[in-house]
Structure 1
Amino acid sequence: MEAQPRRRRWPIVAGGVAAFTAVAAAAAQLAFAATLFSDNFEDGDTGGWSKSGGTWAVVSDGSKVLSQSSSGSENAREFAGDAGWTNYTVSARVKPASIGSGGHAALLARASSSTTFYRLALLSGSVQLQAVNSGSVTVLGQVSRTVSTGTWYTLSLSVSGSTIAGSVDGTSVGSATNSSVAKGRIGVQTVYAAAAFDDVTVSDTAGPTPTTTGPGSTASPTKSPTPTPTPTPTGTGGGGSTPTGAWPTSTGSVTVSGTISVSGTLDGGLKRYCCIGDGGQSESQDPMFELADGATLKNVIIGSPAGDGVHCLGRCTIQNVWWEDVGEDAATFLGTSGGDSYVIGGGARSATDKVFQHNGNGTVHISDFYASGIGKLYRGCGNCTNHYERHVVVDNVLLVSTKYVVGINTNWGDTATLTRVVVQSSSGIHICAEYTGVAKGSEPKYLGDGQGDGHCNFSASDITYK
């Protein structure tokens, strides 16, 4: 139902100039409040939302509402918005139809994955403000309250820096400091409950109104700053142009007799570095390059055999690097302190298994990259000794004769975001394969290919087949 505008009447008080100044200041603050996203579902569909579990539909309940009707669903979610959103307030009306034992209906903010977010939850006898990190719940605030089925409640959840606050029907549930989730989308959720949701609104009072980007939504709130990679030299790729598969010409050669440790930046000037290892699939081989936290490797052609390729011990940038024959893995990301690593430009040939292996945590960004004759472009480890939530962002890549674009583990909260992916001569390719991660020594179970489910985030238009 469309919300009707409220008429606000300012009281006349003594001290006209002071009163006028106060009113003008308040009005100025209101003028900068921006509605960044809103959906009242009156269009009858869930365009802009991605489902993960449950039975969701837009139904009539006085007005059109989003309903999750399966009260036995263990974890039903719908997500919307931008993964880069940071500081905002999300509000919604929520009407539980049933709440089972241990169940709730909730509003989510900063959902960085399907199992990591902040949550304001209606339980049967209370309302809780929670931080959820890979499924582990920390209660940040709580008020005792009878939550009745068939009754609408207005939930409001604010995230600003490390301050997290929630309210129900205007009454504070709590405000706390928590830094477990820095950014993420909005969402609605039921756990062993059925509920209806309506009038979902995201607002940002920190800046001007953004430009509209689509029906029912607008541009993202302020995003966290992203580390700026070193620009690639002109003509060497990795500057955002569409990959063509053209291989660079070596400017010289470097003989490698053992692992090269890099801290800071190593610019190879497009020399060919060779060789190490036996070209086989053994992961016990030494890497050719080992990058310290924050290091950059750029403008290098890696000859064959390349051993275990490149090891990133923390956050790293791999820019305009070319693997003649991958052998085992082109690069393995091992950092466990979170953060972002970047592969920008470059290319790889002949990876029987994976090009990029993600054993640590954090997010790997792959852009402007070319690969040919590979098994997988990216795989989040499904049976490493330590289990993490991992994320990959793939943009503007050309993949020839490829079996899989990415493989992720849904039970650990992994996500993949794919845009501008071109696949060529890749019959039967798996775009986003979902697995159940397992303990070391076991083999991950393939669940199927996902799309728009909160784990595999892309649409059909993001993939081009040639």
Structure 2
Amino acid sequence: MFSRSSARRRWGRWSLVTGAVAALVVGTIGFGHTAQAATVFGDDFEDGNTSDWSKSGGTWTVVADGSQTVRQTNAGSENARLFAGTTSWTAYTVQARVKPLSLGSGGHAGLLARASGSTTFYRLALLPGNQVQLQAVKGSTVTVLGGVSRTVAVGSWYALAIEVNGSTVRATVDGAQIAQATSEVSGSGRIGLQTAYATAAFDDVSVTTSGTTPPTANPTTTPNNPPTPTPTTTAPPPTTTWPTPTGNAPVNNGTIQVTGTFDGGMRRYCCIGDGGQGESQDPVFTLAAGATIQNVILGAPAGDGIHCEGNCTIRNVWWEDVGEDAATFRGGSTYNVIGGGARAASDKVFQHNGSGTVHITGFYAENIGKLYRGCGNCSTSYERHVVMDNVTVRNADAIAGINTNWGDTARFTRITIYGDATVCQKYRGVSSGNEPVLIGEGADGVNCIYTSSDITYR
């Protein structure tokens, strides 16, 4: 598809900005735009590395195949991806040469556009059985926007291209259109290369804009998905001194239902449950959508702590001895934990069962399993996110556990760890009744997002 030039570099310094590439984008692939195409990203892998890409799954290496190419060689990987660019990219064309090396049953090799999350994007996929499809992917839901039956031969190169402009998505293979559709699955996002139960080689990747809504000229590979959520409220550095109750408030009539704002005046509320890890214990408090609970101490036993049935705020709440869980986020889209602390959680402190983003700031925890866990086997699966800032943890196994196959993300800044806790554990979420599988840990720029400067060990 491209001629070779040793002068080609990344990020808009590619020597093939004009000529064949521009003509292909504006003429063959375009929707009638008259603006001059501009190449804002290009990688031919001739420098021998993938430093401008972030990896999620699979085994990726740069190898010679007539020229330097990047190759994914783990045929058993169910979701191997490389991402580049930023989530702010909107109207553009991404193109690449793709050569499937093996295609297992149910597998594919393909090109991604507008990846707003690790599992939300448009995909042009080469499939077994001589099929090519343009797909809209959101979590586990794959919608076929169009496709054709044509030869897909292992060991042959194919020139794939996806153009996204507003709600219009168009795909070509070897310069011939195979699909055009309207979709609202993703309005912006990065580019990507992907295989599933397949191996493949990729080369000559470029991103061009026709001048409608130019992508950022200097993208970064992290953070990734989705656009970085920020806490709606911040807290001072967490205190590690447990508060003294101003009095006791026995819970005599079962769970306390909260609407609006509940201020406990730093009284100790107790007791529900047996203090163990038994499932289905009642919570001490249930917060209706939009409710706030503040200045509360939960004594032991505290049952299943606090349930948020919708968006909620938990401010300056302290758990003296976490029972089943300190708090469970069940519905809504935005939850804020501001200040406070928890101790003696043999499993986890915060359980995220619903969708949306949990923000945790100014919080202290000690003698716990995990501070946060996105449910890995609930009856309904969601893409979940957690953002932690200004958090101190002592004697923990892990700070967060997420499910990468559902697109979960965990972002960390200003985290202080006393001990050797793992910052981010990655699981493969499963259906209800099964146990999630731990598949990795550590920063990857895609799901677990932090740098060494974000974490302080003491």
TM-score band by shorter chain is 0.7 to 0.9
Among 81, 102, 109, which residue is 1:105 paired with? 109
Among 33, 45, 51, which residue is 1:47 paired with? 51
SS at match of 1:307: coil
Against the structure 1 CA distance between its residues 184 and 248, is the aligned structure 2 distance closer, same or farther, given a 3 Å change threshold?
A: farther
Q: Deviations over 1:385-416 (max 9, x none)?
A: 44444333333322111111122344x52533
Deviation at 1:274, TM superposition (A): 1.3
**d(CA) in 1 for partners of 2:74, 2:50:** 17
User: What is aligned with 1:321?
Assistant: 317
Q: TM-score, normalised by structure 2?
A: 0.76
Deviation at 1:88, TM superposition (A): 4.4
Task: Report matched runs for 1:67-466 at 5 Å.
Answer: 67-70=71-74, 74-82=78-86, 85=88, 87-89=90-92, 91-100=94-103, 102=105, 103-111=107-115, 114-123=118-127, 125-147=130-152, 149-158=155-164, 160=166, 163-168=168-173, 171-180=176-185, 185-191=190-196, 192-201=198-207, 210=216, 212=218, 229=232, 231=233, 238-239=234-235, 241-245=236-240, 256-257=251-252, 258-263=254-259, 265-266=260-261, 268=263, 271-272=266-267, 274-278=269-273, 280-281=275-276, 282-293=278-289, 295-305=290-300, 306-335=302-331, 339-410=333-404, 412-420=405-413, 422-427=415-420, 429-438=421-430, 440-452=432-444, 454-466=446-458
User: What is aligned with 1:23?
Assistant: none
Task: Report matched runs for 1:4-15 at 5 Å.
Answer: 4-6=16-18
Q: Partner letter of residue 312 of structure 1? A: C
C-alpha contact (below 8 Å) 1:166/1:172 kept by paired residues: yes
Q: Deviations over 1:151-170 (max 9, x none)?
A: 3514124264x554434455
Q: TM-score, normalised by structure 1?
A: 0.75
How many residue pairs align between the two structures? Answer: 427
C-alpha contact (below 8 Å) 1:49/1:80 kept by paired residues: yes
Against the structure 1 CA distance between its residues 353 and 7, is the aligned structure 2 distance closer, same or farther, given a 3 Å change threshold?
A: closer
Deviation at 1:60, TM superposition (A): 4.2
**d(CA) in 2 for partners of 1:460, 1:40:** 30
C-alpha contact (below 8 Å) 2:328/2:352 kept by paired residues: yes
**d(CA) in 1 for partners of 2:19, 2:380:** 57
SS at match of 1:106: strand
* Fraction of identical pairs, as percent: 47
The answer for unaligned runs of 5 or more in structure 1 is 9-25, 232-237
**d(CA) in 2 for partners of 1:275, 1:212:** 54
CA-based RMSD of the aligned residues comes to 4.0
Q: Partner letter of residue 137 of structure 1? A: V
